[in-house]
Structure 1
Amino acid sequence: MAGIGEGWMSRALSAAVLRRWSAAAEQADTTDLRILRRQRTAARRLRRRLDKLLHVADARLSLPLVGNQTFPRPQGVDWSWRPELWCGPLPVPGLAAVPSKATLGDEVTLFHDCAQSEITLRQLRNLREADLAAYGLRLDVFRFDGSYLSLAIDLPEAASDGLLRKHLLRIETIVEMEKPLEIFARLNIKHGPNTEQIVRELPVTEDEIRVEFDLAYTRLNEKRVERMWLDLIFEGPEMNQVILRDLTFSRRHRAEL
């Protein structure tokens, strides 16, 4: 039997305690009532503590694993990634009255042109059994007097390494919202002095929310790719709450015709 601590002494002690309680249970029918009463009192105290341990352990062990980079990938993927905000706890988990160009973590930046910000950003722990990402991102918008609101996610250098026009870049996400709104995904690829941009609307009403960017339709200079980032653009966000439960990226070659 495994002990509740580490080392052979803990294992031996746990085994001895288990044997003692097993023997008491087997002999309960014939145990002297005075002794049985003491055993019942001790058992009840122990059960309360065991029930608390089981409750907390079941809750924690059912949560998505912190740092998890596992998610379904299409065949032929040569790069995939889940940003840190959706993987592990951030030193600063949230921001209120968020100014434009404020960052949450190292990869996520909020942009807007509100005269007075009534926007909050907060990292939250995913609790659903179906979630693969350990954390999500909640965006709360109250009064909104601006003309645009977007989240920019910086992609790592590995996303740009070896990038070719025959690549497809897939974005997948899980979105919850208080009321319907349009969300657009804009992929930006800086190559030399130029920046290619591809825009797709997220199919937020579908069960699987994913879009693909086909680089064949760009004028990408493959030899001068410097960096990539994704903008998530929210149309009409006033008085709404949007939760991004997950956000993943993957890259693969287009099938040859």
Structure 2
Amino acid sequence: MTRPASTLNFLPDDYLERKAQRRANVICGVLFVAVMAGVGAAFSLSEQATRRVEQEYARVEAQYVNEARRLEQVRQMQEKQKRMAHQAELTASLLERVPRSYLLAEITNSMPAGVSLLEFSLDSKPRAASTPAETPKTAYELKKAAKQGAAKADAPPPPAVRQVDVQIKMTGVAQTDVQVAQFLNRLSRSRLLKDVNLVYTDEMKQQDDRLRKFQMEMMLNPAAEVVDPSGQGARTAAVELTETRR
């Protein structure tokens, strides 16, 4: 077999070098454009993601602002309800919940036949304020209480509700101990009274009769309230309150 003749190249060497260099430049240019396009696409995607995050942040912040406004409105409504409830309690404490006429009528109607009263007294004493046991608070609750205390330091304290305990003491006579027991039982079942106790019962002579002298103590039920359908009791209480203020 005969070998093929070697290919003869009649092109100059510098032409081939320039052609190879141009080819390399084209390849580098294409790669540069591709890299720049990738960088631009990545930058564009990053900008879009940033805008989406900012929009989501703005939406969430707007929701927080709206919810904070609603919470503030709820807090103001609760504060207003507390003030109204305190005013109602203060007004109720100034009025006479159980008029003395109703109380005397209740005691008189509870007396059995043969029982009469010799002495009757009412003693009103301010009720001692009960301090509830403090429960341990968290750091957040302590910080919140400190902020509220600093905010309300300059505000005047609300007027305290006047609470009074009325103690009733009466002395009377009866013909028998059975009548005393009946009287005690009827008073114990009354809704206007509580803590009805018999202090003593003793024999008492009145001319030729032997009577039973007794003494009872009780408290006016603070939860009791007499409602007059005609409204006369409320008007009487209002008149007495006005006269007391004068």
With the shorter chain as reference, the TM-score category is under 0.3
**Larger Rg belongs to:** 2
Higher helix proportion: 2
Answer 1 or 2: which has greater strand percent: 1
